[in-house]
Amino acid sequence: MNRIKVEGKHKDHQILMYAISTCNWCRMTKQFLRDLGVEYEYVDVDLASKGDQELIKQHIQRHGGDLRYPTIIIDDKILITGFRKEQIKEALGL
């Protein structure tokens, strides 16, 4: 799966974001994470292969999430759906 890594000075958490390449809320979430200075990886689900999309679906559902984007999974434990600035900051302790 093609995960794109965005460098940041805060590397305390493993942050994985599933996004849609055309989605403005996803774009705003990517920008928000960049502005926070956290390192994260993302996958644009619409550009992924069918096989990878199935894996993404399973990953999200395993964490009890809905199939909507952006979905952020922090340390493979906390799942946040949508552009939720306060929830993201709280989960990252920022």
Partner 1 sequence: MTTLKEVRQRAEADAKMHGYALNPDEEMLQGILKGLKRNEERYGYPSCPCRLATGQLEKDRDIICPCDYRDPDVEEYGNCYCALYVNQEISEGKAEVQPIPERRPPQKLEQAYTSGGPDSAPEPAAKPAVVSSASETNLKFWFCKVCGYVCFREEPPHKCPICGAKQEMFSEILLGMNWMTR
C-alpha closest to that of 72 among 55, 92, 93: 92
Q: What CA–CA distances, in Å, run from 1 to 42, 43, 86?
A: 10, 8, 29
Stretch 37-76: interaction string toward partner 1, x if CB under 8 A? --------xx---x--xx--x--------xxxx-------
Binding residues for partner 1, total number by CB under 8 A: 22
- Supply the minimum distance, in Å, between the C-beta of residue 11 and partner 1: 27
Give CA–CA dist 65/76, Å, rounded.
12
- Chain residues binding partner 1 by CB under 8 A are 20-28, 45-46, 50, 53-54, 57, 66-69, 82-84
